[in-house]
Amino acid sequence: MAAEAEAIFPRDLHFSEADFLAVRSLLYNKTGIALSDAKNHMAYARLAKRVRHQGFKSFADYLALLDSAAGAGEWEHFINALTTNLTSFFRESHHFDILRQHAQQHAEGSNPYRVWSSAASTGEEPYSILFTLAQTLQAGRYDIVASDIDTQVLTKAASGVYSADRVAKLDPSLLKQFFVRGVGSNNGKVKVKSVFARQVQFRQINLVDASWPQLGVFDVIFCRNVLIYFDKQTQAGILEHFARHLKPHGLLLLGHSENIQHISNTFAPCGKTAYRLARG
């Protein structure tokens, strides 16, 4: 497969099998992302720009830079280049119906209703959570944390700016309520209204880190379409960690292909790709 891709897209930088294995192991150690053999071409395509940017002709030189003290700042670019950030507003829309119902039942007392989007990518997921809660609960009664390992997508997410085609499928009344349209050089773009956007707190968090920053406990954790990149052992570790950050009635929402029943006894299914604490 790699040879086939190479024949179609000739490579101007030297990228040996050993280089690919090194990229794979560095990425796994830093992020938990496990690349299969089939991702050789993807690794080349995503990293070639960084290799050229650093003025190298071979991946071996680039990998040596990462290995040196001088390469400390390059790690962020390495990780950003290799993450996959596909997302959309109200993706897997059944979760937002579940969220609305759960918020109606559990947002009470003096504490805010808290939701964490733990692989937030470019922000469509946390903003979909925001729109749902803003239409369900009173202002100031909820709190949303959005995190990702990738600093580039977090910057995009925090800007709240999207091209019009990203929001084309949203209900016009929702667009009107939550976005402003760009004018002049921002024509063709929309921005989440700041009065709403400031209720989302963006932070960089690596889910495979042994300890996370002080986060407190949540009513709902979204961890969608990221566990698929990790092996079973990494998935199990993250699930145990999530359990410590969930209120007893809390929900964990996963992506459509992420079934954890064979990995964890801590969570029990309670709806389509929705889980609760088994002891909750």
Ligand X SMILES: C[S@@+](CC[C@H](N)C(=O)[O-])C[C@H]1O[C@@H](n2cnc3c(N)ncnc32)[C@H](O)[C@@H]1O
Based on CB atoms, which residue is closest to ligand X, 43 or 149? 149
One character per residue 57-96, x = contact with ligand X (rule: CB under 6 A): --------------------------xxxxx---x-----
Which alpha helices (DSSP H) does the chain contain, by range? Answer: 2-8, 17-31, 40-53, 59-66, 74-82, 94-106, 124-134, 151-159, 172-178, 194-197, 232-243
β-strand pairing of 179-181 with 267-269? unpaired
Q: Which stretch binds ligand X (CB under 6 A): 67-75, 119-127, 211-219, 270-278?
A: 119-127
Residues 212/241, Cβ–Cβ less than 8 Å:
yes
Of the residues 46, 100, 141, 203, which is catalytic? 46
Residues 228/258, Cβ–Cβ less than 8 Å:
yes
User: With binding defined as CB under 6 A, does residue 276 bind ligand X?
Assistant: no
Within residues 167-196, the interface with ligand X by CB under 6 A covers none
Of the residues 143, 148, 150, 219, which is catalytic? 148
**Which single residue is written with the structure tokens 């991946």?**
59
**Residue 148 known to be catalytic:** yes
User: With binding defined as CB under 6 A, does residue 245 bind ligand X?
Assistant: no
**Residue 203 known to be catalytic:** no
In the complex, minimum distance from the CB of residue 152 to ligand X, in angstroms, rounded to a whole number: 9
Q: Which stretch binds ligand X (CB under 6 A): 7-15, 39-47, 145-153, 241-249?
A: 145-153
User: With binding defined as CB under 6 A, does residue 152 bind ligand X?
Assistant: no
Residues 95/133, Cβ–Cβ less than 8 Å:
no
User: With binding defined as CB under 6 A, does residue 199 bind ligand X?
Assistant: no
CA distances from 157 to 74, 128, 190, 223, 267 (A): 22, 12, 13, 16, 30
Q: Annotated active-site positions, please?
A: 46, 148
Q: By CB under 6 A, name the binding residues for ligand X.
A: 31-33, 83-87, 91, 119, 121, 125, 148-150, 153, 206-208, 224-226, 229, 255
